[in-house]
Amino acid sequence: MPKDFTTTPVPPRAELHNTPMGFFQSLTEARKNLLNIVPHAATTMPIISGKTGVRWHMVMDPTALRTVLNEKLDIYPKSDVTKRILRPAIGESLFIVEGAEWRWQRRTASPVFQVRNIDNLAPIMSQAASDCVDRLAALDVPVADIYAETVRMTLEVISDVTFSDGDAIDRHMVGEAIAQYIDKVAKVSFLDMIGAPSWIPRMSRMMGPSSLGRLQGVANSAIRNRENSPKEGVPDLLDLLMQGKDTETGRKMTHGELRDNVLAFITAGHETTALSLAWAMYLCAFDQDVQDRARAEAQAALNGEIATADHIADLGYTRQIIQEALRLYPPAAFISRNALETHELCGREVRKGDIVMIPIYALHRNALLWDNPDHFDPDRFAPDAKYDRYAYIPFGNGPRICIGMEFALRESQIILATLLSRFKFELTDRPPPQPELLLTLRPKGGIHLKITKL
């Protein structure tokens, strides 16, 4: 029977503002939480334009988004500001480069993320899930900071699938360096997006040798070690990238390109996946009916085991929950592009030099596109469900869609199904987490859940 949404509560949502803001107010608000500069009208209109230092347009119309992200990719490159922030760390990676340079890198890196390769690395995901089961089962107090747990699991996974050199590399040190590095990246403000002046601190100045340098050092020595003596066993992401060749030209990545791409996988893939899992678990605690249904699926599929790649096909509802969590709380909730030419979107003139902002958080809750947009309903993603592929873009879309999408979804399925098959998760009496957008959409206040072993 379809759910009656008039009587069901909505999970936490950001209070979007209704009144226009001036330049300095926007700067102050954006520094606290980037969602503070997204107007409420972004959830009811297809496009909003304004000027805050520079001319900008917020686009929520799927047809216009198809134009920006797909059909006119070349006139809407990633915005200068995003690149300026990330260039010192991952400047030679496919995350940053454009045009022909991006095309050959993408061709070369795509096979790395084929399902076959992800499945070969899935035992690392299952191990992280299994370790988490042991930790939760051993808790003295039956309440855990779930976000801390998901960060820990996805960190274990990303460090083992990038630098699986066993003794050659100190796993603990890699973990620490990644955590420190991500922390620094997350502190970088997105103020630049709205035309903030150049005195705003930039990544290059904020990232001391202690985090970025250490991680680059780890990547450099891993690449050199493998050049000298190829690693045995299942190829990890770095091995696969080193084997990669441009199908058209035979070109292989240089040492710098390899290093920056591996660091890009870590930057783009670690915290985002941890967030999607943490919000998904929060939502399961929020709606016990959904949790019961997911648990029934997981227990039937796993039969007491830890989930593996072989179970993925039987965990369809689990994937729906993750997809719906990514709609309500998209970890990369705001992306932006520069217009290189004057052009029209939704009947509005976009001039050369304007910024096109895509507030994914508001797009995913836009009332023109979604019924009961603030409600949690995994059935929106049932196998026969219809929705515009440009109304739902937690991984972006078009040629530059996230290369790690399937990796993230499979990792989340394995971990979520394993945990739900073993434990019951409930809300505590703490205040609900508030969505807060800095570089990613984080749960302010944390996600603390009551845990009962089954």
Residues that bind ligand HEM (CB under 6 A): 78, 94-95, 106, 264-265, 268-269, 272-273, 276, 331-332, 335, 394-396, 400, 402-404, 407-408
Bridge-based pairing of strands 434-437 and 343-345 is unpaired
In the complex, minimum distance from the CB of residue 139 to ligand HEM, in angstroms, rounded to a whole number: 26
Contact 285, 425 (CB under 8 A): yes
Nearer to ligand HEM, 307 or 451 (CB): 307
Closer residue to ligand HEM, CB minimum distance, 212 or 332 = 332
Q: How far apart are CA 268 and CA 258, in angstroms?
A: 15
Q: Which is closer to ligand HEM, CB of 266 or CB of 420?
A: 266
Instruction: Spell 309-341 as b/e; 16+ CB within 10 A means b.
Output: bebbebbebbbbbbbbbbbbbbbbbbbbbbbee
* Separation between Cα atoms, residue 267 and residue 90, nearest integer Å: 9
Residue closer to ligand HEM by CB (options 125, 307) is 125
First to last CA, the chain: 28
* Residue whose CB is less far from ligand HEM, 324 or 451: 324
Most distant pair of Cα atoms in the chain: their distance:
64
The distance of closest approach from Cβ of residue 358 to ligand HEM in the complex, given in angstroms and rounded to an integer, is: 8
Smallest CA-to-CA distance from 362 within 319, 391, 325 is with 391
Q: Are strands 143-145 and 448-453 parallel, antiparallel or unpaired?
A: antiparallel
| Residue 396 Cβ vs ligand HEM, minimum distance, rounded to whole Å | 3
Find the shortest distance in angstroms from Cβ 348 to ligand HEM.
21
Closer residue to ligand HEM, CB minimum distance, 120 or 299: 120
Close Cβ partners of 225 (under 8 Å, ≥ 6 residues apart): 165, 168, 231
Across the strands, what pairs with 441?
437
Closest CB to ligand HEM among 269 and 378? 269
Q: Minimum distance between the CB of residue 82 and ligand HEM, rounded to whole angstroms? A: 7
Q: How is residue 253 annotated by DSSP?
A: -
Which one, 48 or 356, has the nearer CB to ligand HEM?
A: 356
Q: Which is nearer to ligand HEM, 41 or 73 (CB)?
A: 73
Least distance from C-beta 34 to ligand HEM, angstroms? 14
Question: Of 189 and 273, which CB lies nearer to ligand HEM in the complex structure?
Answer: 273
How would you list the strands of the sheet with 423-427, edge to edge? 143-145, 448-453, 423-427
Residue with smaller CB distance to ligand HEM, 121 or 302? 121
Select 46 or 398, whichever has its Cβ closest to ligand HEM.
Answer: 398
C-alpha 287, offset from chain centre: 23
DSSP string computed for 38-87: SBGGGGT-SEEEEEESEEEEEE--HHHHHIIIIITGGGSPBPHHHHHHHH
Q: How far is the CB of 186 from ligand HEM (least distance, A)?
A: 14
Shortest reach from residue 268's CB to ligand HEM, in Å: 4
To the nearest 10 degrees (0 to 180), the angle between helices 255-286 and 214-228 is: 120
CB of 332 to ligand HEM, least distance (A): 4
Q: Which residue is nearest to ligand HEM (CB)?
A: 404
Q: Beta-carbon neighbour count of residue 196 at 10 Å?
A: 20
* Rounded least distance, CB 402 to ligand HEM, Å: 3
Q: How far is the CB of 266 from ligand HEM (least distance, A)?
A: 7
CB of 395 to ligand HEM, least distance (A): 5
Question: How many residues are listed for the chain in this entry?
Answer: 454
Helix (H) or strand (E) segment spanning residue 242: helix 237-243
Within 10 angstroms of residue 73's Cβ, the number of other Cβ atoms is 17
DSSP track, 172-238? HHHHHHHHHHHHHHHHS-GGGGGT--TTS--HHHH--IIIIIHHHHHHHHHHHHHHHSPPPSS--HH
b/e per residue 120-133 (b: at least 16 CB within 10 A): bbbbbbbebbeebb
